[in-house]
A and B are shown apart, each in its own frame.
Chain A
Amino acid sequence: MLEISRYCLVAATIAVALSLIAQIVVSTARATPGTKQTGDGRTAQPRGRGLAHYAAVLDQFAFLCLTACLVLRTIVVHRAPLSNQYEFAVSFVWGIMLAMVIVEWRTRLRALALAVLPVALALSLYSLTLDDTATELMPALQNGFLLPLHVVTASLGYGAAAVSFGAAVLYLLHGHLGRVRLPSRERLDEIGYRSIIIAYPLITLMIILGAIWANVAWGRYWSWDPKETSALVTWLFYSAYLHARVVGNWRGARAAWLLILGFAAVIFTFMGNLFFGGLHSYA
């Protein structure tokens, strides 16, 4: 069954890659007569199911494959599959694809995929390089309540943060991508903000749950461990973004750069413990 779980991950990776290619084609195709630009920068779709529709379907398929991958692994290992770098990498991609599917469903802004899917694809490929052997839980991780809560909130929060990153990147590239059609800058700015108002409470909750768990397992709620400090850095950067935007009315390029800085901190938090060790060295 682990093998089937692995095949699901491969299928999801291929689907993400195909969706990205489809979106590049859709975004760079010359506008055909009759194709209109809507008020918010979206391109009015022709009748029938175009490539953009199938790109969205591929995203949904990738999300389902990732869900299947995690569910099958859960059945095999008899626990939440969220306890090592491979499992968290897969759940991180799952979080990104969930956020992407929701954003597409709510906003119909497919063009966001141009910047979000490369992140999902890179993480999928990275997870395929990792050892997926089902390992047993070390004593510190044997908390069937806090382990899934802590890691799932991280996956969901980081997934929403990836969407904000994609919106920020497209905002900064707006007008520099030749004939690539993108949503309006105002819309991208708003999507970046709305993603963070989902990501920020989740990241806050993830840090608080981590502190509660640390207090139970290690006897102290904060140890300045590299991974928990990285999560704090991420939280501070997103706090700076929200402070700048809400109080200082920062918008546009400066706000977009803060979003990129925040997501760089997310990636650093995800990967950093590989280089700096610490109490999270297993993750």
Chain B
Amino acid sequence: MTTPADEYDEAPQIGVGDFFGAIYRFFYNKKVGLALILAMGVLSLLGILIEQVNPTVRADPDMYAAWLEQVRSTYGGWTSVLDAIGFFHMFGSPLYIGMLTLLALSIIACTVHRIPVLWRNAAHPKTRVTPGFYSRARTRSQAVSPLSTGEAHDQVRTMLSKAHFRVLSDPERPDQLYADRFRFAPFGTVFAHSAFIIILIGFTLTGAAGFQDDEVTVPLESRVEVGHDTGLEVELISFEDSYYDDGSPKDYVSDLAVYRDGQQVARQMVRVNHPLKVDGVAFNQSYFGVAADVTVADAEGIEITTQVVPLQWSTDDGQNAYGMINLPEQHLDVYVMTAASGATSSQLAPGEARIEVYGEGEQTLRGSGTIQQGSPGTVGGLKFTFNREKTYTGLLVAHDPGAVWVWVGSGLLLAGICMTMLARHRRVWVRISEAPEGGSLVQFACPDRHDTSFENQLNRMAASLADNAEEDTENA
């Protein structure tokens, strides 16, 4: 005999199917879907309101720690909390990605759950309703026609067909008709929801299988490797920048040539809005600046390298621009600095360059000094010659296999939304019965959400039936 205690101790039997069924039901629950959409909206909003760290800064622990100290003045004690939950890099945070994943699962579950319902409504609609339906439906209209029920039935059928409705009769209930229009329009939601998933797949492919490098700098008359296993090199043949009378930038254009295995495969004047594309790799004009042509030699004067260093960073006060040369065999990093364009209070005069030598990847200064253009100078045991300044162009080079999926998803999203919103599925049930005063009572009813234009259409149909009655009376 089983005691209540035994029943309590006995573990409930939950099948695997029940478990997954419960998860499925959770995800297609409309309230869960609504909560997830709103949560995504709120998190995105927080991502705008809360200062976001630059990915480059975040990748460097020291720079990130310094950045956190900087924002501590704004967020105070909340800084550590916001950092811990990833709010300073919201759009890559586990919370945001997790929420996006849950939303995607909810969309998939909702779509799968709705497809049979949509198909049933489109292909096998319920044609039979109770008489009470005609007095309760949200949208209703009725008229008395002088015609017999059979004639009225035919007239209503013709009227609906002319208005491009599909009309279905129930053989067992000749007094009723079902008519609908745009019956496949609700499938637009399936397209729109599927599109959202396709766009997310595109986003994932962009991040996982592509690259975006916005630090490709090409000095004038120089050729640099693009990297990222593309096997491409890019050369800046010429560069031109122009300005409006008020000094604002009008245009900057790079004459770029792209090479593969030493052979030129493309050449184009690249400007903002006019990228160059080679084998799926896009070269976008991003920025430009001044580079320093510097020769480095060892203590005996034997040349180690001559490089054109893009001075792409600026000091905190904005007065100086600097760039870096890596000397891998010497295990050194060399920073080259000149006065920034337009700087008025830089300590460096035109034609001067400051050289700072550090151990590779270290912050310990090995030596520093200022050299004059054209005159060699020794800094940190090496001889440097500042040959001249040159223009460089900054490119954003990207290979994005996810973009095509984003565009396919976007098109499908728009098509799905327009299909659902602009061609609404309109349904009407019609009952034709004998009127107590003679003739036929024609009742139109629709349970869907109220739509004044559809209601007006039904009213016009009803009025048309009644007009026939009036005309007949007048003729009589």
Binding site for B on A (CB under 8 A): 40, 107, 135-136, 138-140, 142-143, 186-187, 189-190, 193, 197-198, 200-201, 204-205, 208, 211-212, 215-222, 224, 226, 229-230, 232-233, 236-237, 239-240, 243-249, 251, 265, 268, 272, 276
| Chain B positions within 8 Å of A226 at CB level | 48
Known: A211-B406, A211-B410, A232-B44. A247 touches B33 (CB 8 A): yes
| Chain B positions within 8 Å of A232 at CB level | 44
Asked whether A139 lies within 8 Å of B273 as measured between CB atoms, the reply is: yes
Closest residue of A by beta carbon distance from B285: A139
Q: Which of A139, A198, A201, A244 contacts B252 (CB 8 A)?
A: A139
| Chain A positions within 8 Å of B34 at CB level | 240, 243-244, 248
A189 to B450, CA, bound (A): 9
Closest residue of B by beta carbon distance from A193: B449
Closest residue of A by beta carbon distance from B418: A201
Asked whether A224 lies within 8 Å of B248 as measured between CB atoms, the reply is: no
| Chain A positions within 8 Å of B41 at CB level | 233, 236-237, 240, 265
Known: A139-B273, A224-B47. A240 touches B421 (CB 8 A): no
In angstroms, how far is the closest chain A Cβ from the Cβ of B201?
14
| Chain B positions within 8 Å of A216 at CB level | 273, 275
Known: A135-B248, A204-B417. A248 touches B30 (CB 8 A): yes
Asked whether B272 lies within 8 Å of A240 as measured between CB atoms, the reply is: no
Closest residue of B by beta carbon distance from A197: B421
In angstroms, how far is the closest chain A Cβ from the Cβ of B298?
40
A45 to B3, CA, bound (A): 79
Known: A140-B273, A221-B406, A222-B203. A200 touches B48 (CB 8 A): no
Asked whether B396 lies within 8 Å of A219 as measured between CB atoms, the reply is: yes
In angstroms, how far is the closest chain A Cβ from the Cβ of B57?
15
Asked whether B37 lies within 8 Å of A240 as measured between CB atoms, the reply is: yes
Known: A186-B450, A221-B403, A236-B40. A272 touches B249 (CB 8 A): no
Asked whether B248 lies within 8 Å of A138 as measured between CB atoms, the reply is: yes
Known: A201-B418, A232-B44, A236-B40. A217 touches B273 (CB 8 A): yes
| Chain A positions within 8 Å of B203 at CB level | 222
Asked whether B48 lies within 8 Å of A272 as measured between CB atoms, the reply is: yes
Closest residue of B by beta carbon distance from A213: B273
CB under 8 Å from chain A, chain B span 381-429: 396-398, 400, 403, 406-407, 410, 413-414, 417-418, 421-422
Known: A190-B452, A197-B421. A240 touches B250 (CB 8 A): no
Asked whether B31 lies within 8 Å of A248 as measured between CB atoms, the reply is: yes
Q: Which of B91, B189, B271, B285 contacts A224 (CB 8 A)?
A: B91
Asked whether A220 lies within 8 Å of B421 as measured between CB atoms, the reply is: no
A226 to B47, CA, bound (A): 8
Asked whether A138 lies within 8 Å of B249 as measured between CB atoms, the reply is: yes
CB under 8 Å from chain A, chain B span 194-215: 203, 212, 214
CB pairs A–B below 8 angstroms (7 shown): A139-B251, A142-B273, A190-B450, A211-B406, A215-B400, A220-B212, A243-B34
Asked whether B414 lies within 8 Å of A201 as measured between CB atoms, the reply is: yes
Asked whether A208 lies within 8 Å of B273 as measured between CB atoms, the reply is: no
Interface residues on B, range: 35 or more
In angstroms, how far is the closest chain B Cβ from the Cβ of A209?
9
A249 to B275, CA, bound (A): 47
Shortest 8 CB-CB contacts between residues of A and residues of B: A219-B284, A236-B41, A219-B396, A139-B272, A197-B421, A240-B37, A208-B410, A248-B30
Closest residue of A by beta carbon distance from B242: A139
Most chain B beta-carbon neighbours within 10 Å: one of A190, A222, A236, A247: A236
| Additional A-B contacts beyond A219-B284, A236-B40, A240-B38 (18; CB < 8 A) | A107-B452, A139-B251, A142-B273, A201-B421, A204-B413, A204-B414, A208-B414, A212-B407, A215-B400, A219-B397, A219-B398, A226-B48, A233-B41, A243-B34, A246-B189, A247-B30, A248-B31, A265-B45
| Chain B positions within 8 Å of A251 at CB level | 449
In angstroms, how far is the closest chain B Cβ from the Cβ of A197?
4
Q: Is B286 an interface residue when CB atoms closer than 8 A count as contact?
A: yes
Asked whether B272 lies within 8 Å of A140 as measured between CB atoms, the reply is: yes
| Chain B positions within 8 Å of A247 at CB level | 30, 33, 110
| Chain A positions within 8 Å of B414 at CB level | 201, 204-205, 208
Known: A218-B396, A220-B398, A248-B30. A229 touches B271 (CB 8 A): no
Most chain B beta-carbon neighbours within 10 Å: one of A205, A215, A272: A215
A276 to B47, CA, bound (A): 11
A256 to B248, CA, bound (A): 45
Asked whether A276 lies within 8 Å of B403 as measured between CB atoms, the reply is: no
A248 to B308, CA, bound (A): 63
Closest residue of A by beta carbon distance from B213: A219
Q: Is B19 an interface residue when CB atoms closer than 8 A count as contact?
A: no
| Chain A positions within 8 Å of B78 at CB level | none
Closest residue of B by beta carbon distance from A247: B30
Known: A142-B272, A247-B33. A219 touches B450 (CB 8 A): no
